[in-house]
């Protein structure tokens, strides 16, 4: 069995915000085609394509109304086939986003369920209300109630939606649902996609619909998180579908701990190839992700070390379409933006595991510069505002919290150039383009041999040809204050990565020595010199 996913260097495209070819303000597949060279030059070998399926876009495509159709905003199926072929021509595979916890309420299955067809009613979770209220006390991922009236409210029937109202959960107890999804996988695999990123995959199967133990958020999660039923579905999909195509999967596994992650991607159990864990994304939050606290690098270092040493193979990522920008969050998006973005790149590519880069990360894009909630489109942010209002939190505080955490921070259009529309669109963008595009854009960064893009290029090239970076073990050497260092070792050869989170020079701790292989500062010539602000250094021993 080949393990090609271990060599994958993945670039995530959020299609709405990547490149708009026709001026309607929404990115599209022809736009992606026009930027394939940018990706090939960066050196990545896999694209994770966020949803491009037919969808009413209540949650930007994560609410699918037809799994086998391309949304007209994005183009046609011919465009998609061309993308697959042209990417392949450049040595780039595509993995699709597989969203199977829920469909859109505008999916034919849900519409037929509403029309009273028994067969389709049993595709979803529809329950009678209890004591004049909803069927249970569960919470919802988008700060809402997870039950909405199914059809006529007078019937007192409710459907479950762990996400938005327009994302009814599928009933995975129903074998017909499994068969339908199997066909969907085959449809895309037959076209030649390399695998899937599986959306919230560890919550798809529910054990029971009883009340849950009261919690601040997500009451009821014990009834559906990492259930035996979910493990079983994953094993069957592997044996019955994925194996036929030698396809690979990465599961988005919310709230997963080390033990659960080990089970989900154990080579013996054959469920997922790897998971996206979230602990390091939670190192700057208090209890729920909407409450951020000051970022302490040491907490990130501890988390990274814990997962690097605890799990054989990680998905390493600092960004995606649900998270604020890493340079604004873990780096410094002011004076040291370029330096800190390069350091984070060095850290990311030196860790053990499959690397995921989110669009715009390669040029150090920062959080959106929204002035008020009116400029934010993300449904989650609007729900959080409602919830916080309900709790009596005043507007300036609500806005502070949303501004920091909104998923739209990462969803602002890709900044290709300084032109109006940022080279993203000739029309009115669906989401406000960051004003800093005049300064921060791919054209400007790529023109700089010392820029962020160029550093990613170097690191990716190095990662691809280095056994040590690909297969080597991980050992933490130093994690104190603002300095993180670790060793990667393979066949008696060793590399040391040194990462400074400090905005001033730091002495290099004793013991971190070797020949200088790479530094994020071109001026660094001496491996033992003090570290420049936010410097990344790779030493060869």
* Shortest Å distance, C-beta 107 to ligand TEU: 14
Task: Tell me the closest approach of the beta carbon of residue 144 to ligand TEU, in angstroms.
Answer: 12
SS3 462: helix
336 contacts ligand TEU (rule: CB under 6 A): no
Site pattern 239..268 for ligand TEU (x: CB under 6 A): -------------x-x--------------
- Per DSSP, 532 falls in state P
Applying CB under 6 A, among 49, 98, 99, 300 the residue interacting with ligand TEU is 99
Build a one-symbol-per-residue string for 5-44: x at contacts with ligand TEU by CB under 6 A, - elsewhere.
----------------------------------------
What is the distance between the terminal CA atoms of the chain, rounded to a whole angstrom?
33
**Which residue of 200, 256, 365, 487 would you call a contact of ligand TEU, by CB under 6 A?**
200
* Interface with ligand TEU in residues 343-362 (CB under 6 A): none
φ/ψ bin of 218: left (φ > 0), alpha (ψ from -120 to 50), beta (otherwise): left
User: Is 85 exposed, middle or buried, given 0-12, 13-18 or 19+ CB atoms closer than 10 A?
Assistant: exposed
Using the rule CB under 6 A, which residue among 48, 278, 453, 456 binds ligand TEU? 278
**Strand, coil or helix: 253:** coil
Q: Using CB under 6 A, which of 80, 163, 290, 536 touches ligand TEU?
A: 163
Neighbours of 235 (CB within 10 A): 14
Q: What is the token pair recorded at 345?
A: 């790149």
Residues identified as active-site: 199, 252
- Give the residue nearest to ligand TEU (CB): 62
Binds ligand TEU (CB under 6 A): choice among 80, 141, 150, 521: 141
Nearest to residue 379, comparing CAs of 401, 400, 407, 359?
407
Answer yes or no whether residue 289 interacts with ligand TEU by CB under 6 A. Answer: yes
Q: At its nearest, how many Å lie between ligand TEU and the CB of residue 406?
A: 11
Cβ proximity to ligand TEU, 196 vs 336, nearer residue: 196
230 binds ligand TEU (CB under 6 A): no
Q: Does 281 bind ligand TEU (CB under 6 A)?
A: yes
The rounded distance, in Å, linking the Cα atoms of 357 and 60 is 20
Q: Nearer Cβ to ligand TEU, position 121 or 321?
A: 321
Shortest distance (Å) from residue 199 CB to ligand TEU? 5
Rounded-to-integer distance, Cα 254 and Cα 256, Å: 5
The crossing angle, in degrees rounded to 10, of helices 77-89 and 175-191 is 60
Q: Work out how close the CB of 537 gets to ligand TEU at its nearest, in angstroms, rounded to a whole number.
A: 31
Helix-strand-coil split of the chain, %, nearest 5:
35, 20, 45
HEC profile of 103-156: CCCCCHHHHHHHCCCHHHHCCECEEECECCECCCCCCCCCCCCCEEECCCHHHC
Single residue of 199, 273, 319, 408 touching ligand TEU by CB under 6 A: 199
Binding residues for ligand TEU, per CB under 6 A? Answer: 59, 62, 99, 141, 163, 199-200, 252, 254, 278, 281, 289, 321-322
């Amino acid at each position: 069995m080949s393990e090609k996913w271990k060599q994958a260097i993945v670039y995530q495209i959020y299609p709405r915000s990547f490149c708009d070819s026709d001026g309607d303000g929404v990115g599209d597949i022809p736009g992606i085609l026009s930027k394939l060279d940018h990706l090939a030059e960066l050196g990545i070998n896999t694209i994770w394509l966020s949803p491009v399926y037919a969808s009413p876009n209540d949650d930007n495509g994560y609410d699918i109304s037809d799994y086998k159709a391309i949304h007209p905003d994005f183009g046609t199926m011919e465009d998609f086939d061309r993308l697959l072929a042209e990417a392949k021509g450049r040595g780039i595979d595509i993995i699709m986003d597989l969203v199977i916890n829920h469909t859109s309420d505008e999916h034919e299955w849900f519409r037929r369920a509403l029309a009273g067809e028994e067969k389709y009613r049993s595709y979803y979770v529809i329950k009678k209300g209890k004591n004049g209220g909803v069927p249970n006390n569960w919470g919802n991922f988008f700060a809402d109630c997870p039950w909405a009236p199914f059809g006529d409210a007078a019937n007192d029937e409710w459907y479950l939606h762990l996400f938005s109202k327009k994302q009814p959960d599928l009933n995975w107890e129903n074998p017909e649902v499994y068969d339908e999804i199997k066909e969907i996988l085959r449809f895309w695999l037959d076209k030649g996609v390399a695998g899937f990123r599986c959306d919230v995959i560890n919550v798809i199967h529910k054990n029971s619909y009883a009340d849950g133990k009261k919690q601040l958020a997500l009451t009821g999660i014990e009834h559906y998180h990492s259930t035996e039923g979910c493990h079983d579905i994953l094993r069957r999909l592997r044996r019955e579908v994925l194996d036929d195509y030698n396809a690979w999967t990465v599961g988005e596994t919310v709230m997963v701990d080390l033990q659960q992650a080990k089970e989900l991607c154990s080579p013996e159990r054959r469920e997922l190839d790897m998971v996206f864990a979230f602990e390091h994304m939670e190192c700057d939050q208090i209890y729920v992700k909407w409450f951020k606290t000051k970022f302490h690098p040491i907490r990130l270092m501890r988390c990274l070390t814990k997962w690097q040493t605890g799990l054989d193979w990680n998905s390493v990522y600092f960004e995606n379409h649900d998270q604020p920008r890493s340079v604004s969050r873990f780096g410094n998006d002011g004076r040291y933006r370029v330096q800190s973005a390069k350091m984070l790149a060095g850290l990311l590519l030196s860790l053990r595991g499959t690397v995921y880069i989110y669009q715009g990360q390669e040029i150090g894009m920062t959080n959106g510069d929204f002035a008020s909630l009116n400029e934010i489109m993300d449904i989650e942010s609007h729900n959080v505002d409602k919830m916080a209002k309900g709790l009596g939190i005043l507007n300036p505080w609500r806005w502070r919290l949303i501004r920091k955490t909104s998923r739209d921070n990462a969803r602002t259009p890709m900044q290709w150039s300084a032109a109006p529309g940022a080279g993203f669109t000739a029309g009115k963008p669906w989401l406000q383009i960051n004003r800093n595009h005049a300064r921060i854009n791919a054209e400007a960064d790529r023109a700089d041999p010392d820029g962020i893009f160029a550093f990613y290029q170097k690191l990716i090239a190095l990662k691809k040809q280095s056994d040590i970076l690909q297969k080597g073990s991980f050992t933490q050497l130093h994690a104190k204050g603002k300095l993180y260092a670790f060793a990667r070792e393979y066949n008696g050869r060793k590399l040391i990565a040194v990462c400074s989170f400090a905005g001033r020079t730091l002495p290099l701790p004793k013991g971190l020595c070797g020949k200088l292989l790479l530094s994020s500062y071109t001026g660094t010539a001496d491996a033992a010199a003090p570290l420049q602000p936010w410097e990344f250094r790779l030493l060869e021993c």
